[in-house]
Every structure is written in C-alpha cells, then in structure tokens.
Structure 1
Amino acid sequence: MLSLHIPDKESLTIEHVILDFNGTLAVDGKLIPGVASRLEELSPLVSLHVITADTNASARSELAKISCTLKIIGKNRQDQAKLEYAENLGLKSVLAIGNGRNDGMLLQHAALGVCVVQKEGAAIAAMQAADIVCNDINDALDLLLQPHRLTATMRN
C-alpha cells in the first residue's frame, strides 16, 4: 500500500496500480528499458495489474518474470472493460497509467490518473482525463517510488 499526499486534498491510499501495456510499458511489444526493475521495486508495495488488448501479442512473454496480474481484453469496448476492471478493485484505491484513447475513462475515474507520452504518442482524451502527464514511463513509475515528486507536481 502506498500513501500519497496530494496538497489541499485527502491523502490517497493506493493498493492497486493498473497499467496499459503497448505505448505505456512497452514500445512495439517490447518492455521499455528500466520498466521491469521499477515494477519489481513497486510489487511489494502495491498490486500491479496490466490490462491490455495486447496489440503485438507479446504481453504474456514480456511480463513473465514480473509480479503482476495480466488481463488481456477483447477488441470491443476496451475503455469500458478497463474501467470495469478498476471498479471491481475499488476506484479509490487505484492509480492508473496509460496513453491510449481506451485508457481515458480509467485515467479519469481512478483515484489518480497518469498519462504517458512516449514513442506511440498519447490520445488527447487520455491526456485530458489524467491528473498528471509524464513524457516517460520510468518517470511516471518514479513518482510512486519517490512520492515527494508527485506532491510537488500536484501542489496548488
């Protein structure tokens, strides 16, 4: 569990981190360097969930050695599938990280939503729905490992 202090708001108790795979943790189906070690550092603190349409059919093999739950979703209503998954965990305990249009609802309704803009870019809907935008997944994960950075970003 992570306790995150957001200035001028209640502190957040994050039990689950939900991440998109392609465009967020991976580019062209391959994990971005630095991601695996950061996820392993986070895994004793929170439950990690990767929910993806698995465009490149590589998520299972790329995540095989990482302590996380992998959920591969179908081609239809992906935004709704991601949101429903988070609702089942309890939205108030979820921090979400994604970049795609299908991540927008999840980023908007999670306790904290982080959009990453990397080589695949990011959908405007995801950026507008997020609380924070980072230009690198490793920077986004470091917000959780170094929470004072998050506090500084969210200060009013």
Structure 2
Amino acid sequence: MLKCQIPNFKSLEVDKLVFDYNGTLACDGQPIESVKEKLNQLAEKFEVYILTADTFGTVENEFKDIEAEIIIIDSNDGSKAKQKFIRQLGSQTVIAVGNGSNDRLMLDEAGLGILVIGSEGASTRSLLESDLLINNINDVLDTILNPQRLVASLRE
C-alpha cells in the first residue's frame, strides 16, 4: 500500500495498480525491458491488474510469470470498460497508468492517473484527464516504488 499526503493536491491511500498493456507495458506486443521485474516488485505491496484488448495476442504468454491479474476487455468499447473496472475496484484506491485515447476515462476515474509517453506516444485527450505525465514506463514504475517523487511532482 502507498500512503502519502501531497500538499495542496490530495491524500493518497492506494493498494491497487491498473496498467494498460500495449503502448504502456509493451510495444508491439512485446514487454518493455525491466517491466516484468518491477511489476513483480510492486506486486509485493499492491494488487496489480493489466487491462487490455490484447491487440497482438501476446499478453497472457508474455506475462504468465508476473504477479498480476490480466483482464481482456472488448476493443469496441475499451474506454468505458476500463473506467468501469476502476470504479469496481474503488476509484480512490487505484493508480491507473496508460497512454492511449482509450485510457482517458480510466485515468480520470482513478485516484491518481499517470500518462506515459513511451515509444508509441500518448493521446492528447488522455493527457488532459491525467494527473501526471512521465516519459516512459520504467520511470513510472520507479516513481511508484519511490512515492516521494509523486509528492515532488504534484504538490502545489
């Protein structure tokens, strides 16, 4: 669990992490280097979920050794499915991480929404709904592992 008070922003009590897959944890269906190791490290403190339409059909095989629950969603209405999933978990107890336009509602719904740019880029619409923008997924994972970085970036 992560507990931290971010001055003039909010108090976080988060025990769940929700990640988009393609463009966030993976590029072209292949996991980004170091992601698996860091996800397992985070799974010691958080419930970890991966939400994906699994465009390339690789997530279950690539992440079979990861302590995360993989949720395959309908690609036709992914944005609303992701938002609904965050609500079911308890929005304020979730950090959501994504990059695409279909992550927009999820990032807005979560207690903390992090947009990752990554090699695929990031949706401007999702940027406007997120709380924090970070260059790549490894920096996102390191920030969650070192929550004082959240305080430094988000305090007013």
TM-score, normalisation: structure 2: 0.97
> Letter of the aligned partner of 1:93 in structure 2?
T
Q: Does 1:121 align with 2:121?
A: yes
2:93 alignment partner in structure 1 = 93
How far is 1:9 from its partner?
A: 3.6
2:105 alignment partner in structure 1 = 105
2:95 and 2:113 in contact (8 A); partners too: yes
2:11 alignment partner in structure 1 = 11
How far is 1:155 from its partner?
A: 1.6
1:147 alignment partner in structure 2 = 147
CA RMSD of aligned residues (A): 0.9
Deviations 1:81-135 (A, max 9, x none): 0011111110010100000100000001100000000111111111111100011
Aligned residue pairs, count: 156
User: Any unmatched runs of 5+ in structure 1?
Assistant: none
Shift >4 Å, 4+ stretches:
none
1:84 alignment partner in structure 2 = 84
How far is 1:5 from its partner?
A: 2.5
Counterpart CA distance in 2 for 1:145 and 1:118 is 19
Counterpart CA distance in 1 for 2:141 and 2:5 is 16
SS of 2:6 mapped into structure 1 = coil
> Letter of the aligned partner of 1:87 in structure 2?
R
SS of 2:48 mapped into structure 1 = strand
SS of 1:11 mapped into structure 2 = strand
> Letter of the aligned partner of 2:81 in structure 1?
A
Deviations 1:16-74 (A, max 9, x none): 10000000000011110011111111001010000001111101011100000100111
> Letter of the aligned partner of 2:65 in structure 1?
K
Identity percentage over the alignment?
Answer: 38
User: Any unmatched runs of 5+ in structure 2?
Assistant: none
Counterpart CA distance in 2 for 1:75 and 1:109 is 19
How far is 1:4 from its partner?
A: 2.7
2:138 alignment partner in structure 1 = 138
SS of 2:75 mapped into structure 1 = coil
> Letter of the aligned partner of 1:59 in structure 2?
V
TM-score, normalisation: structure 1: 0.97
